[in-house]
Each structure stands twice: as C-alpha cells, then as structure tokens.
Amino acid sequence: MRLSISVTTLLAAACAIGNSNALSIPSFANPQQLLNLEHYGNAFNSQMDKFAQSALNGNIVTAIANYFNEPLESISEETKKIWSDLILQFPQSVTNLNFKSNPKKATKGKGKFDVHVTDKKFPGHQLRVKSTPESLGVDTVKQYSGYLDVEEEDKHFFYWFFESRNDPKNDPVVLWLNGGPGCSSLTGLFFELGPSSITAGIKPKFNPSAWNNNASVIFLDQPVNVGYSYSSESVSNTIAAGKDVYAFLELFFKQFPQYNNLPFHIAGESYAGHYIPVFASEILSHEERTFNLTSVLIGNGLTDPLVQYEYYEPMACGEGGEPSVLSPEECQGMTDAIPRCTSLIKSCYESESIWSCVPASIYCNNAEMGPYQRTGRNVYDIRTMCEGSNLCYSDLEYIDQYLNLEDVKAALGVEVDEYESCNFDINRNFLLAGDWMKPYYKNVINLLESDVPVLIYAGDKDFICNWLGNQAWTNALEWSGSAGFSKAPVKSWEVNGKPAGEVKNYKHFTFLRVFGGGHMVPYDQPESSLDMVNRWLSGDYKF
Ligand SMILES: *[C@@H]1O[C@H](CO)[C@@H](O)[C@H](O)[C@H]1NC(C)=O
Ligand SMILES: *[C@@H]1O[C@H](CO)[C@@H](O)[C@H](O)[C@H]1NC(C)=O
C-alpha cells in the first residue's frame, strides 16, 4: 500500500491540538493556506525537508537515535519501510533536524508579584503570586495569578486561579487543562468553562454556567512555552510535563493551605486525555503529597488511540448520529487503511519507541483524518464548516486579542511578549517524539485500581476525538471492574427535565455521552456541562 503523507495532515494531527486547535486546523478546503500560516508554515516545511534529506543520508536516523536514546537495532522491517515511504515524500535538501522549540520572548521580573513561595522539597522552585486580577472584571471572586518558576531549567508556568462563587472554604478545587499539545488553558477559561467569555468588543462577559459556580478552578498553561508560560528549554512528552505539574500543585497548596484539604480534581479535554492519566499517576506515586486527588474528568480525549482510530470512519460516515459527510469511496478508503494503521499503533504500544510511534501518527492521521479535513468541515463539530479566516470559531480571535492587551497582561503579571493560543512547535515536538500514539490509557487502569474515580465524557458532535471512539475504549478497558462495566446498562441523563445525554457507569468509572456537544462541550452545552461537573464533583458517579 502506498503512503501518502501530507504536511497538512501531519500537522493537523489528532485531538491533540485541543481546544483552540481550531487555530491549527484552518480551512482544509484550502490546504495551501495552512502551509502559508506564519507560525509554522515555511519553517515547518523546511524542517520536514531537512528531516527527509538527512534521513535519506542516514543522518536523521542516527540523529534521532542519539537524541532520544533509541537504539537503531529496535527498528523492524515494517517500520523501516514506513520511514522510507515517509522520506520519499520529502525528498528535498538540507541537514539537521531540530526537535527543540524556539524560546519564547519574555522578561523575567517584568511582572510584579506580592508573594514568593518556596519549599525545601523542591529546591530551585518558587511560586510567584499576584492577587489583583479582580480589577479585570472577569469575575468578582478572589483570584490569584502568577508563575511557578523552576530556576535550574529556566521554566516558568503561568496559572490563574478563581475561587468558587459559592462556598470556597468547602467547595472542591479543580485543575483545568486544555490539550494541543501546545494549546493554552486560557482558551478553556474564556471559550468554555471560565467565569467570563470575551465579546467582539474585546471585553469580558459574565458566564452564568462557569465551573467555578460550585468549585474553585485553576487554569494552568503547560507544558512550558504554551500560552503565557515560557522557557528557554522545551518539553516534548507527557511524562516530563507531569513532573512539573506535580511540583506546581505542591507549591500551590503550600501557599494556599486553606484549599489543600479540600477534594481536588483534575479535568481537561482533548490531548489532556494523554496528560491527565499520566499526571494523576504521577501524583499518586508521591505518598508524601500534601493534597488530595479525588477524581479525574476527561472530555473528548485522545486516550487509547488503538481503539479510537477505528472510529473516525463510522463517525464521518453516518454511524455517529449525524448523516455521512463523506463519499462511499472516501469511507471505504478509511476502512481499508485500518489494518495497517492499527498494526502500526500496536507496534508503538509494544515498543513505545519513536521508530514505531512517529510513523503510526503520520500514517493514521493521514488516512483516518485526512479525508474529513479536506472537506473543510469543522473537525470539532461535524454539524458545521470552519468559519472565519483561519479559525473554526471566530470567538477565539477575540480571546487572543484580549490576552494581548497590555493592561490585561500587567494585571496578571504576565512576562511574555506575546500570547498565542497554540504553540505549533510544541505540537510538532510531541508528535516527533512519538508521544501521540503511546499507550497512556494504561494509567487509567492504574487510577481505577487505586480507587480514583474516572469520568470520560464526550460531546457527540465532535469528529476529532469522537464519542464512538471514547465509548469503545471505555468498553474495551481491562480493569478489575471490566465485567461489571460491560454489563452495566446505558441510561438516559437528564438536565432540567430534558434528555441531555446517555450514561454508563460501574463503581467509580463512568462514560457520559453529551448530546449536542462538539469537541468543546462547555462551549456548545454550557448548562449540561455545569450539571455534569457539579454532579460528578458531588460524588454522583451514576448521574
Ligand atoms: C452551588 O452554588 C449555589 C450558589 O451559587 C448554591 O445555591 C448551591 O447550593 C450550590 N450547590 C452545591 C451542590 O453546593
Ligand atoms: C484529603 O481529604 C480528607 C477528607 O476527605 C482529609 O481528611 C485529608 O486530610 C485530605 N488531605 C490529604 C493530604 O489527604
């Protein structure tokens, strides 16, 4: 079978790009436009050319082997064939491949902070805190923003915390993470579940369905160089990112002990389907931790690609609750590519080596997402086409403008020169590091066996991390409750007396299909999403 790899699909890759990934998947009706986009267009092409050429010379393979400590002997014949197919697609000149992202322009010390927190357990780490963001009018509740600094590695993570609107002394605390990889959690704040959205006049507008109605919520920009976070270093895998997030949480709860005995939950979407199982496992591995891990919630995540990649075809071709948006030939093409795609993902699962994992991402993304993307349809919502210039949602542009206002940055203590909702270098780095297809779903088993409740929810109009795939992997997951879960009935979930979705639960594991939600459920279904989060946080795992 002939591979056809396009830079477009390679970039456009999965759920990964997450929330404001709307940015990174512009109109696929016009792939040229994607290639011309300044942030990664030409630079990325020339990267791929370099990659190809040095690969042809044998250099790239050696370079990767050295860079990632991956022995060359571990490459199978099939993998070699895939790499050479890949290389043939980019037969142009040049030399070294650079896996590192460019450092973000920032000035440490530019932000003015009130409190600095350190902890002997984390030498070289400090948390800087500012308590003035209320002046911005995003919410009237108590707020803190600032940076976690890891001096030795020159990493600076931005966060913004909002107290619960209800009873912050007793309400739970939620950490929210957007995906990407490489997209800012502040788009989750302003586009989805935070206390305000941003209007066309670039002003905050109160969100009555914000998740901080009954919980305190932390929005964290990670890994470094995402959103307002910055570094001269780069992070290109989920495991490394998890260690930083754990340190952040310890220092946060040290600074704010009034929250550290409260129930604590991690929620996120899209590529956070990779992050959350790993971050939560990292937290559990620290018995000395000073805070609770009460549950995790993953929305439209990419968690078990081996199962999920089989469901792009049914979702696009009429079996996900919407009519087919592709021709029978295109659907057939997607079906035909499944055996090779799954065999590549399987070898990635077995070896977890970038030799297998990178080609699996490239081949599968191309074969299973390419046909849909070429229609120009919104990958986050099968009901719509991408609107606006290069964003699928024009509201996202307002958020970018707002977060680049000087007075906003000053009020928050921001030290980066420019806010971007998604960093495409990071996206590429994760893909080229093989992170995309790795079997992080195994960490979900670890969480369940450690009695940490897990909610997998999915808006049922999303294509890119669709509900069929999420339903399928939750059914396929092997844990001590699998038999019970497989026998559990699918029940109706109602919000305000109206059908809002369907739920399947056994013990502390729940799959929830959200009717009428795209990739960003709180954006499309704010009331359902608030009911969902409040019920779950209150311990109602059955809905
Ligand atoms: C949520 O907050 C509202 C007030 O904002 C309160 O009336 C309600 O009881 C709270 N619900 C829970 C479950 O705490
Ligand atoms: C976690 O929550 C419980 C109450 O549910 C509390 O007793 C405990 O001290 C909390 N903190 C930690 C670190 O477990």
Q: What is the pLDDT of residues 396-451, one digit of tens each?
A: 889 999 999 999 999 999 999 999 888 777 777 777 777 889 999 999 999 999 99
Ligand 1 centroid, distance to 255 Cα (angstroms): 26
- Nearest ligand to the CA of 210 is 1
To the nearest whole percent, how much of the chain has pLDDT over 70?
A: 80
Answer yes or no: 184 catalytic: no
538 CB within 6 A, ligand 1: yes
- Nearest ligand to the CA of 531 is 1
Answer yes or no: 519 catalytic: yes
CA distance 25 to 14: 10
Ligand 1 centroid, distance to 528 Cα (angstroms): 16
pLDDT band at 65 (very low <50, low <70, confident <90, very high): low
- The pLDDT, as a whole number, for residue 172 is 98
Ligand 2 centroid, distance to 162 Cα (angstroms): 21
Top-ranked range on mean pLDDT: pick from 218-222, 287-291, 312-316, 368-372: 312-316
| Amino acid at site 367 | A
CA distance 104 to 110: 14
The number of the ligand 2 atom at minimal distance from the alpha carbon of 289 is 13
Please write the tens of the pLDDT for every residue from 120-176. 888 888 999 988 778 899 999 999 999 999 888 888 999 999 999 999 999 999 999
Beta bridge partners of 320: none
Q: Is the peptide bond before 204 cis (omega within 30 degrees of 0)?
A: no
For ligand 2, pick from 169, 249, 261 the residue to mutate: most ligand atoms within 8 Å of CB: 261
Q: Whose CA is nearest to atom 2 of ligand 2?
A: 261
| Marked catalytic residue, from 462, 524, 529, 531 | 462
- Nearest ligand to the CA of 208 is 1
Answer yes or no: 116 catalytic: no
Question: Which of 257, 341, 284, 336 is CA-nearest to residue 307?
Answer: 341
Structural domains of the chain, with CATH: 115-301+448-500+508-537 (3.40.50.1820)
Output the CA–CA distances (angstroms, integers) from residue 212 to 193, 219, 533, in the order listed. Answer: 8, 11, 10
- The pLDDT, as a whole number, for residue 86 is 62
Give the burial class of 34: count Cβ atoms within 10 A of its Cβ; 0-12 exposed, 13-18 middle, 19 or more buried.
Answer: buried
